[in-house]
Structures are given as C-alpha cells and as structure tokens.
A and B are shown apart, each in its own frame.
Chain A
Amino acid sequence: MSSKENAIEVEGLVVHRGGRPVLGSITFSVQRGSVTGLLGPSGSGKTTLMRSIVGVQKIRSGRITVLGQPAGSAPLRNSVGYMTQAPSVYGDLTVRENARYFGSLHGASHWAADRAVADVGLGEAAGQVVNTLSGGQRARASLACALLARPSVLVLDEPTVGQDPVLRAELWQRFHDLADEGVTLLVSSHVMDEAARCDRLLLIRDGSLIADDSPEGVRRASGTQDLDEAFLRLVVESRGKGRA
C-alpha cells in the first residue's frame, strides 16, 4: 500500500522502558479515514505504542510515519490529536475553561470550544471545576479538548472507560462520523465488545502484535463469532508459535 492511503505506518518498532522491552518489533499500518481498535490486556503495551505514534515516547529502533512525516515532528502538531489515559486536563479549572484554553492553542474559537464540551455530553457540567467531576466525566472533558484540535489523526487511549452504555454508543457513533469526514482514529480499549465497532483491529499482547485484521477476519481466523473467545484462541495460538 502506498503511504497516501495510510495515515500511520509503523515498521519494526522496538521500545524499551526501565531496561525491559515493552514493544518488540511491531509492524502495521492504519488506513486513512478508518477507526482502528487497539486491543489488549492492561500492561500489553497499548499506551506505549500510542505514545510512540504521537511522538512523546523515546523509541529504541524502528520507523513511525504519520501522514508521511516522522512521528512527533513539528508539522504534525497541528494535525495529530492525543487523549491520554489519565485525563490530562487542569483539575482546578472548569470544563469550559479547559476546553477554551486547549482549543485556543489550535486557534479554535470560544464557540467551538463550548460546542465540543456539549458534544461529549458535558453541556450541563461546563461550568463545573474538573476536580468535582466523576472519572467518566473527566475523561470526556479530556476527550473534548483532544477533539478541539480538529486533527486528521486522532489517538485516543481508552476514551470510553467508566462511561455508561448509552454514552459509549454515542461516542463510538461520533468516532465513525469523524472517520466518514476523513479523520483517522486509533482507539485503544480493553473491552472486547468495543472491538466489533471498529473497522480494523490490532490485538496486542506482551508487546507483540498477535492479530491485524477486520473484526470479521479475526472471527474467521479463530473460528468463533465471539470476539472475546477469538482473542483467547489467538493468545493460545501465539503462545504455541512462541514455543515452536
């Protein structure tokens, strides 16, 4: 595939943290205008992989290209949005103040900031100080700030943790709307029922990629309709390969 179709290309990525390998030679690419799910148990290396793609992680070897540019390079800072796992917003400011500030870094108007807050279902809580919100609400405040960058590539680290099912469905709908507009989304989760909502799945375990396929493809390869079960089978299979 040419790099015009791919928004993200990762080749032979190796990352060590604290002297131990966290990611061992990962290669994949993500198509433009798609929603790709990055799934795996906690500690599997999802966050490290996402940090590498946005360019805040020191990498040991390999090559990461985002929109044809090396990951983390200056021209990308206007086109890549990143939402960290722990909500990185100012706890002593209101939701609206956070959105307006982070939005202003990308030249977004106050109106756009207020709109983004309403879009993640925090319209009523906009005037509340973030520290007084629930965990799920804080995560949404953080998401609103990431969306304000109006990025071409959006990297979201577990955006739906702690959200109620209705809201979760709404957020996923929004991710697909963005993808239809041409935005490329990489969304991590450790909840398998979210996997079915993705166009493409990357399954990661112990720092290795054990599947890179569509949800349908993963089901077919593992011979089960249940993605949870499919993941289990793939894990067992990858272990077998590791021993052989």
Chain B
Amino acid sequence: MSPRVTLRTAGRVLRQLRHDPRTVALMLGVPVLLITLLRFVFDARPETFDRVGLMMLGIIPFMTMFLVTSVAMLRERTTGTLERLLTTPMNKLDLLVGYGIAFAVAAAAQSAVTSATAYGLLGLDTGASPLLVGVIAIATAILGMAIGLLTSAFASSEFQAVQFMPLVVMPQTMLCGLITPRDAMADWLRVISDLMPLTYAVEALTDASEHGGATDLMWRDVGIILAAALAALCLGALTLRRRSS
C-alpha cells in the first residue's frame, strides 16, 4: 500500500465530485431541507425535534454516502476503469481507503452544513456537543461508504444499485430506534436490530446526548460502527477481482 497513491485516489474522487456541482448541491442542500422540514413538523413539540433531529444528523450521512459510493463504484466497474486500475501496481487497499478518505471529507462538509443549520437556525438542543455529533456522523458516513461499495458488486446497472437503498437502508432505519424505542419492538426483532450497525449510531447519539458528552458506551458504539465498516470493506475488497471470465 502506498500513502501517495491512496491520497491521489482520494483527490481524484473529490475532483470528480467537483466536476458535478449539482450532486454537490444536492448532497449539501437536501439534508438541510429535510432537517428544516422536521423542525416544523414537530413545531409544537420541540423536545421531539431534539430527539429525532439528533438521530437524523447521524443517519443522513449514512444514506448519502451509501448511495454516492454504490453508484460511483458501479461506474468504476462498468466503464472499465476498475479493470485498468487493477492492471497497474495499485494495491486494492489504496483504492478502498482512497474512497473512504474522499467520502469522509464529503461527509464532514455535509455534516458541518446540516449541523450549523440545525443548531444555529432551527434551535436544535442536544446534550451532546455538535462536534461530538459530527464525529459520530462521520463514522456512519464511512459505514455507508463501505456498505455501498460492497453492494455495488451485486448490481449490474445503476437502476439496480439504487434499488439496494430501500433494501439496505430502510430496514435499518426502522429498527434502529428512530421511529420507536427498541424496547417496544417484538423480542425477535430486537435481536435483528442488535445485528444492524445503524442501531449503534442511534445508541451512541442518544447516550452522548443524555449524559451531556462523550461516554464509554458512545465510544464502544463508534468502535462497533467502524468495525462493521472495516468488515464490509474487506468483503468489498474480495469483490474487486483482477481476473474475470
């Protein structure tokens, strides 16, 4: 693995984004729009906005980065650039980590804009500092990136790639404790919920918020999220085959 090649790859991915200002505008603008919408949906119940808004700050980067990565990686596979990269001395890890860095940067920008709006303009009030929320948001973004990369191997067109979004993201969103506390679920569903990485993002956000700062449980959960991302990346690396039939 070469840090130079990894950074060049991250730079290349960010440059591709820069050439697509509409995607950048959507990435930065849509979360702001959604969180604003949420604020007025819960107009009469600010404490609910505080709870749900906080979770949205953690879940949105996951969704965005999942989508962007699965389509970007699918393009690498279908346009032959991936095959070309694999005939060069580049290590597979250079490619994966390069993508990871690029989308972590994008997620940080997205998270900064959304948080600034939520805390600054919409009066979001959470026990945890916006910076801490940002750290968790970047962890979930990296998770979304890793899972997107893995699922891109199972799609042969952009239509299919986009269809993985409801399959991968929706169940996690429903089971992670966002809609209803996990105690209220059927027992067997809680077991499934325990296996879904997004659950730990919600737990980390909630715990940090309740205790007014970083907690051991929060750091453990961030660790679980990153471990799940690493596992997905390793599985994704297996799908980057040099030889095909």
Contacts and interface: CB of A to CB of B under 8 A. Distances in A.
Given A17-B245, A97-B12, A97-B15, A149 B88 contact: yes
Contacts of A74: 89
Interface stretch (B77-85, B116-124, B169-177, B196-204): B77-85
Interface string B39-62: 000000000000000000000000
Main secondary structure, interface of A, reads mixed
**Interface residue tally on A, bucketed by range:** 20 to 34
Contacts of A77: 87-89
A169 interface: no
Task: Pick the most buried of A16, A80, A101: most chain B CB atoms within 10 A of its CB.
Answer: A101
A102 B242 CA distance: 17
Given A56-B87, A104-B5, A84 B19 contact: no
B211 interface: no
Contacts of A101: 8-9, 12
A55 interface: yes
A177 B20 CA distance: 39
A72 interface: yes
B12 A90 contact: yes
Nearest to B88: A105
A93 B15 contact: yes
A84 B81 CA distance: 9
A54 interface: yes
Nearest to B23: A92
Interface string A21-61: 00000000000000000000000000000000011111000
